[in-house]
Structure formats: structure tokens, C-alpha cells
Amino acid sequence: MIGVTDPFTDIRTYADAQLIDRLLDVTRSFKSALVCGAETSHLAQDLLKKHNLDTVFEGEFSDPDGPANGAVSKVNNRIIYDDEWVPFKNEIFDLVISMRALHWVNDLPGALIQLRRCLEPDGLFLASLYGGQTLHELRESLIEAETQLRGGIAPRVSPFVDVRDAGNLLVRAGFALPVADSDTVAREYISLPELFDDLKNMGETNAVRERPHGLATARLFEIAEQIYKERHSTKTGHLKATFEIITLTGWSPSESQQKPLAPGSAKQRLSDALDTEEKLF
């Protein structure tokens, strides 16, 4: 890979670093954690060692015999499950971390509600997923090429959630003190096949099940690459690809957390604090 515009050589490493950063910001300690999503082993073992957790459970979505699990985990507490069918008791963990997985879920609100329920009161939820800006250049080029070629389009890039929607979903799922923030990272590729190879290595190929199979011809990708080069190339003539990483933080509601006062319950006037006249409009 050449011309990486970011110090991080891998988008995955970058996304995981963002998550760990959020965790380091938290001063409270945890006892029992669920780490789920993609390539969880590394973080799970890190948590056990550095954060002194009693138990870390590892959740994965794919079959253990499947090709997705390169590294064999040394953590014994592994479960294969689906975020839309969460198999955990209520209020059983005090930390749930979802790594680069929730963009695969069909029913994101449902998944968030289920994950929130398995958190104890005042338990922390952290998640990273790819956001709406991800691969917008590729999407645009493919749509344009396909329109030229066939007069119609097929969904070839998975749909991603917008950062604003993600924040709203956290609220809807009942999380307290919700935060959704996004980071965009640009990378450069020599060619479209190189970009596809990288996506394949990341395990992030098209998740849309209803797409037409066998219709993506070599000609389509040739035209798409041409359009991509015309519209989104860097000074050096490489293809620029954007990745948006959304990091979600939310707490399971608890009496001990700070809350806004009820409207009208103020004991002092804002105008007094600001030393100004109160005007009615």
C-alpha cells in the first residue's frame, strides 16, 4: 500500500484506537465486560491485563469454523451471537464494547436497546462503526458508471448510518449521557482493484443481500475507475477514499448520574446571573 495519508496504516487500527481512547477517559473501574464485534481478542486480553477486570466475555457474529476468525482467542468466555438476537441476561455487564460491527446490523435501534438492557445501571457502552461518509467517492463513481452503462443502479456499497442519526438512536435506545462523534480518515489507492482488496482484507464487503448478482461486469468497474479518477484523485493521481468512523458512548441510566432539572424549577433568574434586563418578546 502506498500513499497512506494518515499515520495509521490501517483504518481498523485507527478505529480501535479511538475506542480505547474513550475508555481511557473513564475513571471508574469495571468488573465484567462484554467485548463484541470484529477482531475482539486483542482488546479483550488487554482489558483483562491492564484494567484488572474479573471477567471479559467475547462475542462474535460469525461461526467459529468460518474464515473470519484469524486469531484464536485465549479468553475462554466466547459466545457466537447476533446483535439482533442478544443472548444475555439483563444488567449482567458493567461495560459493553462493540468493535466495528454495528454497521452490519439491519435493525440498529433494536440492537442498541438489547445491548443497553444487558448493562447494569451506570454501565458504559462504547461502540465504533463506519458512518455515512464512508466510501462516498466509490459509491458516486459506481452509481454514475452504472447509470451510463445500464440506465439503472444497484446497491454495491452498504448503506451506513449518519452520525446525527446515531446520536438519536442512542437516546431512543434509552442511553444516558449519549455522545456520538465522527472522524474522517482519507486514504489513497493506486487503483480500484487495490481498494477492493483492502476492503476484502478488512472483512468489509457489500452487506446488501438483495443486490443483483453477476451484473457487475469488468466494463462497469473500468468506467467507474475512470470517473473516480476524474473526480476524486489526489495530486499524485491516486484514488482518494474517505472512511468515516463513528464512535458511540452511552451510559445505562442510573440515579447517580447528573440530570437536567425539570423545566421551571430554577431558583435563580438567568438575567441575574448575566446581570442584564429580562425582556419578553
Partner 1 sequence: MTATNIDPKLLQILVCPVTKGPLEYDKEKQELISKQAGLVFSVRDGIPIMLPDEARKLDDV
5, HSE (Cβ side, Cα atoms, 13 Å): 17
DSSP of 130-153: EBTTTTHHHHHHHHHHHHHHHSS-
Nearer to partner 1, 92 or 153 (CB): 92
DSSP 3-state assignment of 172?
Answer: helix
Residue among 158, 101, 162, 104 at smallest CA distance from 133: 162
Q: What is the torsional sign of CA 11, 252, 25, 92?
A: negative
Please report, for residues 2, 182, 202, 237, 239, the alpha-carbon distance to residue 190 in angstroms, rounded to integers and kept in the order given: 8, 26, 18, 8, 6
Q: List the x/- string, 49-88, binding to partner 1 by CB under 8 A.
A: ------x-x-----xxx----------xxxxxxx--xxxx
Q: CB of 80: closest distance to partner 1 in angstroms?
A: 5
- Taking the least distance from each CB to partner 1, the nearer of 110 and 132 is 110
Judged by CB under 8 A, the residue of 92, 176, 179, 207 near partner 1 is 92
Minimal distance, residue 72 CB to partner 1, in Å: 10
Closest CB to partner 1 among residues 48, 153: 48
Q: Phi first, then psi: give them for residue 94, nearest 5 degrees.
A: -110, 0
Q: Is 202 in the site for partner 1 (CB under 8 A)?
A: no
Q: Which is nearer to partner 1, 91 or 197 (CB)?
A: 91
Nearer to partner 1, 21 or 107 (CB): 107
What is the Cα–Cα distance from 252 to 58, expressed in whole angstroms? 20
Question: What is d(CA 134, CA 241) in angstroms, rounded to the nearest whole number?
Answer: 8
Looking at the Cβ atoms of 132 and 203, the one nearer to partner 1 is 203
> Of 28, 89, 209, 279, which one interacts with partner 1 (CB under 8 A)?
89
Q: Give min distance, CB of 208 to partner 1, in A.
A: 18
What is the nearest approach in angstroms of partner 1 to the Cβ of residue 23?
21
Applying CB under 8 A, the site for partner 1 has a residue count of 20
* Smallest gap from residue 82 Cβ to partner 1 (A): 6
User: In the structure grid, which three cell numbers stand for residue 197, read together?
Assistant: 482488496
User: Measured on CA atoms in the order 213, 224, 191, 199, is the torsion positive or negative?
Assistant: negative
What does the per-residue mask of binding to partner 1 show for 7-46, with x meaning CB under 8 A? ----------------------------------------
Which stretches of the chain bind partner 1, using CB under 8 A?
55, 57, 63-65, 76-82, 85-90, 92-93
